[in-house]
Amino acid sequence: MSWPAVLLVGPAGIGKTEAARWLADQLYLPFRVFDMASTQSSSPLAGSEAFWSNSEPGQLFELLAYQPLANPVVVLDELDKASNGRPQYDPLAALYTLLEPRSARDFIDLSIRDFSIDASHVNWMATANELEAIPGPLRSRLTVLHIQAPKPEQVRSIAQSIYNRLRDESSWGTAFADRLGDDVLSRLQALPPRSVRLILQRALGSAARDDRGVVQVQDIRPLVEISHRGVGFVSEGWN
């Protein structure tokens, strides 16, 4: 299974990365996310030069070397926020090779120059809020798909999918019901998809504290409400 490199462009927090994760799950493919907004160089992708004392292979090399499949789904998250001010540390530099299947067949990690690896089967998916912030030569290597904010009924489906994954990924998952209730989904459908996962994690914790295997409406609390709770010690009478 493979497809041309794709760029998902749309408003923040609508679930672009979650959609890529869902696709990888459906296809049973290895999945990896690179946070391009916090990347300062190309070393997470392409490794660091061998002459550095702390040189190590990039995550792409490790993904291809230690996973059983050669066509993982790799997400370049927030590609439009990558800093490319200094050419020698440009985090986008490796992508000009990796996003071209012909050149990706002989990809060389900077820390291991003795041999090349075939990275031409990687399924690349990038996300961005603004298309114009991505350099033109890089945009030309990507199939651009404009994503609209999901409708409430679509958020319900996203929430159930996230809930299923939380159950599947945790040893305690079987202690909770298979599906969320309609009242819970109705509460979640009004929330931004980006926050649904964290809210559900907290809701599961709330249900567990009450010794319940079912998430209830009172467990679904917006993050802004959670952040207003006090944490730590309160002391009176300091001089």
Q: Where are the domains of the chain?
A: 6-146, 152-227
Per-residue confidence (pLDDT) for residue 188, from 0 to 100: 93
For residue 194, pLDDT beyond 60: yes
Q: Are 47 and 98 in contact (CB under 8 A)?
A: no
Q: Do domains 6-146 and 152-227 have the same CATH topology?
A: no
Q: What is the mean predicted confidence (pLDDT) over 191-206?
A: 90
Task: Report the b/e string of 108-134 with b at 16+ CB within 10 A.
Answer: bbbbbeeeebebbebbbbbbbbeeeeb
Give the sheet arrangement for strand 6-9, strand by strand. 31-35, 73-77, 123-128, 6-9, 143-146
Q: What value does the mean pLDDT of the chain take?
A: 85
- Encoded tokens for 4: 């041309």
Q: What single-letter DSSP state applies at residue 150?
A: P
In whole angstroms, give the CA distance from residue 32 to residue 40: 18
Orientation angle between helical segments 152-169 and 193-209, nearest 10 degrees: 50
Fold exhibited by the domain 152-227: Helicase, Ruva Protein; domain 3 (1.10.8)
Name residue 156's amino acid.
Answer: R
CA distances (Å), 24 to each of 65, 123, 194, in order?
A: 19, 10, 18
Per-residue confidence (pLDDT) for residue 226, from 0 to 100: 47
Check residues 122 and 231 and name the one with the higher pLDDT.
122
- Encoded tokens for 104: 């990706």
- The terminus-to-terminus CA distance of the chain in angstroms comes to 68
Per-residue confidence (pLDDT) for residue 217, from 0 to 100: 95
Name residue 32's amino acid.
Answer: R
The four Cα atoms 13, 14, 17, 23 give a dihedral, to 10 degrees, of 160
Q: Give the residue among 102, 126, 93, 106 at the shortest CA–CA distance from 6.
A: 126
Per-residue confidence (pLDDT) for residue 51, from 0 to 100: 52
Fold exhibited by the domain 6-146: Rossmann fold (3.40.50)
Please tell me the least confidently modeled range out of 28-42, 84-98, 176-190: 84-98
Q: What is the pLDDT of residues 57-72, one digit of tens each?
A: 888 888 888 888 999 9
What is the reported pTM?
0.73
- Encoded tokens for 135: 């350099």
pLDDT band at 27 (very low <50, low <70, confident <90, very high): very high
For residue 237, pLDDT beyond 50: no
pLDDT band at 86 (very low <50, low <70, confident <90, very high): low
Check residues 231 and 23 and name the one with the higher pLDDT.
23
- CA 186 to the chain's CA centroid: 25
Name residue 19's amino acid.
Answer: A
Q: What is the mean predicted confidence (pLDDT) over 169-183?
A: 93
Q: What is the mean predicted confidence (pLDDT) over 160-170?
A: 91
Q: Are 58 and 50 in contact (CB under 8 A)?
A: no
Check residues 83 and 155 and name the one with the higher pLDDT.
155
Q: What is the pLDDT of residues 42-55, one digit of tens each?
A: 777 877 765 555 67
Q: Give me the percent of the chain exceeding a pLDDT of 70.
A: 87
